[in-house]
Amino acid sequence: MILIAIAVTSCNQSKNNGNEVVNFSDSIAMSDSSAVEIKTHPYINSTINVGENNVPIDKNEFYFPLDFFPELSVDMEQDSTGTWIMSPKIIEGVQDTFVVRWYSKHLYAMKEPLLFNKNLNKEVYRFTWLRTFDNLVVIRIENIGNKYKLIWKLTDGAGGYEPGNLIINKSSEIKPEEWEMFKSKLDSLDYWNMNLGRLTLGDDGSEWILEGVNKDKYNVVTVWSPSKGKYYEVCNYLLSLTDLEITENEKY
Concatenated DSSP letters of 136-161: -EEEEEEEETTEEEEEEEEESS-TTS
Give the total number of structural domains in the chain.
1
Domain assignment present for 39: no
**Per-residue pLDDT, 27:** 28
Distance from C-alpha of 105 to C-alpha of 61, rounded to nearest angstrom: 8
Helix (H, G, I), strand (E, B) or coil at 52: helix
Q: How does pLDDT run across 36-45, given as a tens digit for each residue? A: 455 689 999 9
Q: How confident is the model at residue 157 (pLDDT cuts 50, 70, 90)?
A: very high
pLDDT above 50 for 35:
no
- Say which residue, 201 or 216, is predicted with more confidence: 216
User: Is position 31 within any domain?
Assistant: no
Q: Is there a domain that residue 110 lies in?
A: yes
> In this structure, is residue 41 part of a structural domain?
no
Query: Does residue 40 sit within a domain?
Result: no
How many other CB atoms sit within 10 Å of the CB of residue 127? 20
In what order do the strands lie in the sheet containing 147-155? 166-173, 147-155, 137-144, 123-131, 206-213, 218-224, 197-198
For residues 3 and 57, which has the higher predicted lDDT (pLDDT)?
Answer: 57
Residue 103 covered by a domain:
yes
Question: Is residue 200 over pLDDT 60?
Answer: no
- Lowest-confidence segment of 83-97, 100-114, 187-201, 203-217 by average pLDDT: 187-201
101 pLDDT tier (thresholds 50, 70, 90): very high
What pLDDT is recorded for position 6? Answer: 37
With cut-offs at 50, 70 and 90, classify the pLDDT of residue 18. very low
CA 159, CA 128: separation in Å to the nearest integer? Answer: 10
Residue 24: phi and psi, rounded to 5, are: -65, -25
Is residue 67 included in any domain, yes or no? yes
Domain housing 210: 2-8+50-250
% of the chain at pLDDT higher than 70: 80
Q: Is residue 23 in some structural domain?
A: no
Task: Give the pLDDT score at 197.
Answer: 53
Distances (CA, A) of 27 to 33, 36, 45, 47, 116: 11, 6, 16, 18, 19
| Predicted pLDDT at 92 | 86
